[in-house]
């Protein structure tokens, strides 16, 4: 029988994706000589087919690149029995009975087992009217209508139970890498995909599980596919081992250091924080100096107990000059998380501000107020980043450890016990909004990054208006600064 030539030209879309191609020249030991597999490319694509062929060869299976007389098992994906027969006729195959015609689920089962599994009825492609036994795993998948999943994060119900952490962790690494490259489009592509998977009430175990879901582009699907088949993503591993990514990851972990500064340091030949601190020619900003000074504290997680302790400090301080003020913790802690990296507060008051005598608490280690750049005459704004036009206040607060139990702060063994400080530096963001905008501000500052992106898109694009959700009053910040200012 004539061999079938696989398509020789990659489509433009596949080339642009820059997919990782395995080294086809590698030879592997064949452990299962009685099984000769041929994987149909129809409805699968060359990239996925190549990946699956290489995977099977690494596990000791004999896989033919072209259909030949030696083939015993033909594997197809998303092809019905009649479609496979039509394809075989097109290859001048008159007798298909000599092949086992199997669904991709059989191949997946073999890869998971590391050996050939029986080609039971549930794996075989059948004529219409023949009903193979349903796979138990298929029966266990909950009823779920993918088309009803909204493309807007703010319209999806997402609990703290993430059934797809292995995928979302990978997406967040990819998103961070593209953020470091200042490629916002692809960064958001992975963040939005992660947000969708976090909302699913079941774990994704096969590609069919994501059919019909929004935000599942080619790059996202490729990562999911590889993790399903291999247990990990080679693309994610490449990112984690990339020198630039590792340097940017270190640099941006410092309070006050963003992508622009990281790029500058990297171009200077700096690769680690130790090299940055050793370079005496660098001029660090006040924020960056504070970031290095309190680095160990700021990179450690903030516990719910610590957040509650800080909340008490902020509320007591605000009530000194705004007795009727509402102080609400927002961000991840308001969403129910037990661990975070900083603490956000929303402050508002229904009445006029009162100028009481201020006390100097000595609790502020660092404070930075960013003035508003909002131009009200330009509202409504269609810009997704319009939140960032409002005034903000970034604080590093000194939290004395006796104030909190179950602190996430772990004493480093390198310090002698006599030198251990009894306080921890914690990042705090303060937002003060007019009372009439409190509800909108609370919505905006409670949502995650992706939720806010979609919330703005939903409001400004679909409904053609913009809500000023993060308006601030600068004079209240000056009062807070005076109350908490450093006296040491």
Which residues does the annotation place in the binding site?
342, 344, 429
Query: Does residue 342 have an active-site annotation?
Result: yes
The tokens of 323 are what? 């007795």
For residues 149 and 213, the answer to whether their CB atoms sit within 8 Å is yes
* Residue 69: count of CB within 10 angstroms of its CB: 8
Q: Nearest Cα to 324, choosing from 346, 354, 345, 344?
A: 354
For residues 152 and 454, the answer to whether their CB atoms sit within 8 Å is yes
Catalytic residue among 95, 209, 344, 422: 344
**Cα(81)–Cα(402) distance, rounded to whole angstroms?**
70
Catalytic residue among 218, 242, 308, 429: 429
Q: Which residue has the tokens 């705090």?
A: 428
Query: Does residue 242 have an active-site annotation?
Result: no
Query: Does residue 297 have an active-site annotation?
Result: no
- Residues within the annotated binding site for Mg(2+)? 342, 344, 429
The radius of gyration computed from the CA coordinates of the chain, to the nearest angstrom, equals 29
The tokens of 384 are what? 């997704």
Q: How far is CA 215 from the centre of its chain?
A: 13
- For 304, the enclosing helix (H) or strand (E) is helix 304-319
Torsion angle in degrees (nearest 10) through CA of 221, 224, 229, 235: 90
26 burial level (CB within 10 Å; 0-12, 13-18, 19+): exposed
The percent of the chain in helix, strand and coil, each rounded to the nearest 5, is 45, 10, 45
Query: Residue 356 gets which letter from DSSP?
Result: P
Catalytic residue among 342, 356, 388, 462: 342
- For 80, the enclosing helix (H) or strand (E) is none
Active site (catalytic) residues: 342, 344, 429
């Amino acid at each position: 029988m004539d061999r079938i030539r696989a398509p020789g030209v990659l489509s433009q879309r596949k080339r642009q994706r820059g997919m990782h191609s395995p080294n086809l020249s590698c030879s592997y030991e064949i452990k299962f000589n009685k099984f000769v597999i041929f994987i149909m490319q129809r409805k699968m694509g060359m990239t996925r087919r190549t990946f699956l062929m290489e995977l099977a060869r690494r596990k000791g299976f004999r896989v033919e690149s072209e259909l030949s007389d030696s083939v015993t098992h033909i594997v197809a994906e998303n092809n019905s029995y009649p479609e496979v027969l039509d394809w075989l006729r097109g290859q001048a195959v008159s007798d298909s009975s000599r092949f086992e015609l199997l669904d991709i689920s059989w191949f997946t089962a073999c890869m998971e087992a590391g050996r050939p599994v029986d080609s039971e009825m549930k794996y075989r492609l059948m004529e219409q009217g023949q009903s193979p036994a349903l796979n138990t795993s298929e029966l266990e998948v909950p009823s779920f209508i993918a088309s009803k999943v909204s493309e807007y994060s703010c319209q999806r119900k997402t609990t703290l139970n993430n059934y797809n952490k292995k995928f979302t962790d990978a997406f967040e690494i990819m998103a961070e890498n593209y953020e470091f490259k200042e490629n916002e489009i692809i960064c958001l592509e992975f963040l939005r995909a992660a947000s969708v998977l976090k909302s699913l009430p079941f774990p994704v175990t096969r590609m069919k599980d994501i059919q019909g879901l929004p935000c599942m582009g080619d790059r996202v699907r490729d990562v999911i596919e590889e993790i399903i088949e291999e247990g990990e993503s080679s693309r994610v591993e490449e990112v984690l081992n990339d020198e630039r990514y590792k340097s940017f990851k270190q640099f941006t972990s410092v309070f006050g250091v963003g992508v622009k500064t990281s790029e500058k340091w990297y171009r200077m030949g700096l690769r680690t924080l130790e090299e940055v601190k050793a370079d005496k020619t660098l001029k660090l900003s006040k924020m960056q100096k504070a970031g290095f000074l309190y680095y160990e504290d700021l990179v450690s997680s903030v516990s719910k107990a610590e957040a509650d302790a800080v909340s008490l400090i902020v509320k007591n301080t605000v009530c000194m000059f705004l007795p009727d003020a509402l102080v609400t913790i927002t961000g991840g802690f308001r969403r129910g998380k037990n661990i975070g990296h900083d603490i956000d507060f929303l402050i508002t008051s229904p009445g006029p501000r009162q100028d009481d005598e201020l006390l100097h608490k000595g609790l502020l280690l660092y404070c930075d107020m960013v003035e508003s750049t909002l131009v009200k005459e330009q509202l409504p704004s269609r810009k997704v980043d319009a939140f960032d036009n409002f005034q903000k206040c970034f604080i590093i607060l000194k939290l004395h450890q006796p104030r909190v139990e179950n602190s996430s702060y772990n004493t480093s063994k390198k310090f002698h016990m006599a030198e251990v400080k009894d306080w921890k530096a914690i990042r705090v963001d303060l937002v003060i909004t007019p009372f009439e905008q409190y509800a909108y501000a609370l919505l905006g500052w409670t949502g995650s990054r992706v939720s806010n992106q979609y919330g703005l898109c939903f409001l400004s694009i679909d409904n053609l208006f913009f809500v000023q959700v993060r308006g601030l009053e600068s004079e209240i910040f000056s009062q807070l600064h005076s109350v908490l200012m450093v006296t040491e």
